[in-house]
Structure 1
Amino acid sequence: MKLNYRLQAARQPEQGLPVVLIHGLFGSLDNLGVLARPLGENHRTLQIDLRNHGLSPHAPTMRYDEMAQDVLALLDALVIERCIVIGHSMGGKVAMTLCAQAPERIARAVVIDMAPVAYEVRRNDAIFTALARVSDAVVIQRSEAAQMMAQDIEDAGTVQFLLKSFYQGHWRFDLESIERNYADIIGWRTQAPWPGPVLFIRGGNSPYLDDRYRDQIRKQFPHAHAYVVAGAGHWVHAEKPEGVLRAVVRFLAEGEES
């Protein structure tokens, strides 16, 4: 599968490996722009639309091994032999899968608010209801869609995030395929341990990454480090971009010094 992407050269002479940025569920390659722009001073940055998202092709399945292979095929096409990978939420699981599938090609990894575990709680059912409500109503204007979604989603920020993928009355992500594959998306198959450095960034108010998952993280990523951004939820990079960026820059600098 040929993924849609945005590849940008470093604005200054390159001082590090290319940085690959992978968005989360219902997102697109623009979502991690808050990190791509500053990191682009010294790194080539590659922002990716995963399958069934953004302008990438749609597919009937969304297993993590498949999504990781999509990314590896893109890296091959762009002749990127080794890179740093940063992923949020679902994209974090894709990043962790890349570490297992191609361990020699990943130098460092940053996982934003996601653990290498299968989650038992379905946290997005209200979102699925809201998205389907908009699709069934065949509305065109974002303002109309926002009003309809507010019936199911209380958080206005979540509504605005989802509307970034609403274009001319249609969702750019494949809602039907995402809902059909939701068990795989919240699921996880334990990976072989990867000895490379991984930074796990957690939103302090988020339930996705907390001490319950410490043993699973250490088992699969024995050299993992953690950073908690206080006062932030699951979309921590959007809520507290300065804190996330500081943690990422410091983590990448450690790699340059070693």
Structure 2
Amino acid sequence: MYKEANAGTENTVQNAARDVLGVLNRLKIYPYTLIGHSYGGKVAMSMVHQFGRALPRPVQVWVLDTVPGDVWCDDVGDHPRDTIRFCTTLSRPIDSRRALVESLTGAGFTIEGAQWMTTNLKADGNGKFDWTFDLDGIAEMYASYEAYDLWPMLETQPAGLSLDFVQAERSAFVWTPEDVDRIRRTGANVHLLKNSAHWVHIDNPLGLLDILEPSFENMERGFGK
């Protein structure tokens, strides 16, 4: 049984998972299904790992396009770590969204990535812009995401867990055949989502739903018992 503890102040996967478990504990609920994408996938796995040897009821966990161990990107565009590091060098406040795009593309980042970064700006009330988040905290979170090893959770799964991974066909992350085989040897499943890069819910939402749907049907049958 999960026992609530102080989450601490570090911006890590473990503390994010502890925060969510703390909320669920206070509300006295526990979901039948957990779905986590990217960083959230490791948060979902960490929640299970922190809970202990047995879950209060059968739980289905879906991990969308992230691996349990080291995370790194192919050379296919903007690396999040590089984007974060570059943004920490920019003077603040930022003059405009266009200025941010020009700074990023001038440093070699893609126009698509630069435009997406403008969605993380907020007006400062003086005609300029600042970040909606703490960049130093984001850097800590991403470093934790890359390094946090959740293979021990897979290899000592608690009773009641069903675990499935979705691998994007054009994922920026490297899914080695060895990692896929290792996941499957633990009893977890790996599903390949065709025609999708990392943003699986945007690139191929219907294909993703087709993969997830059987587990929802199983959950509905469980409700009827």
1:207-246 aligned at under 5 Å gives the runs 207-208=172-173, 210=175, 211-218=177-184, 222-246=186-210
CA RMSD of aligned residues (A): 2.7
Q: How does 1:181-200 map to 2 (within 5 A)?
A: 182-189=142-149, 190-192=151-153, 193-194=156-157, 196-200=161-165
Max Rg structure: 2
**Which of these residues, 134, 153, 156, is aligned with residue 174 of structure 1?**
134
1:10-68 deviations in Å (ceiling 9; x for gaps): xxxxxxxxxxxxxxxxxxxxxxxxxxxxxxxxxxxxxxxxxxxxxxxxx8522322111
Q: How far apart in 1 are the matches of 2:171 and 2:72?
A: 15
TM-score by length of structure 1 reads 0.65
Relative contact order higher in (CA < 8 Å, ≥ 6 apart): 2
Output the CA distance in 2 between the equivalents of 1:110 and 1:218: 14
The more displaced of 91-100 and 170-179 is 170-179
The one-letter code sitting in structure 2 at the alignment partner of 1:234 is: H
Name the counterpart of 1:125: 81
For structure 1, which runs of at least 5 residues remain unmatched after alignment? Answer: 1-58
Q: 1:243 to 1:162 in 2, by over 3 A?
A: farther
Give the alignment's TM-score, normalised by structure 2: 0.74
Higher helix share: 2
2:14 paired with 1:65: yes
Task: Give the 3 Å change call, closer, same or farther, for CA 171–209 of structure 1 in structure 2.
Answer: same
Kept in 2: contact 1:109–1:198 (CA 8 A) = yes
The runs of 5 or more residues in structure 2 that have no matched partner are: 1-7, 124-128
Matched residues, number: 197
Q: Distance in 1 between matches of 2:14 and 2:162?
A: 21
The whole-number CA distance in structure 1 between the counterparts of 2:216 and 2:107 is 40
Amino acid at match of 2:134: D
Separation (CA, whole Å) in 2 of partners of 1:104 and 1:124? 34
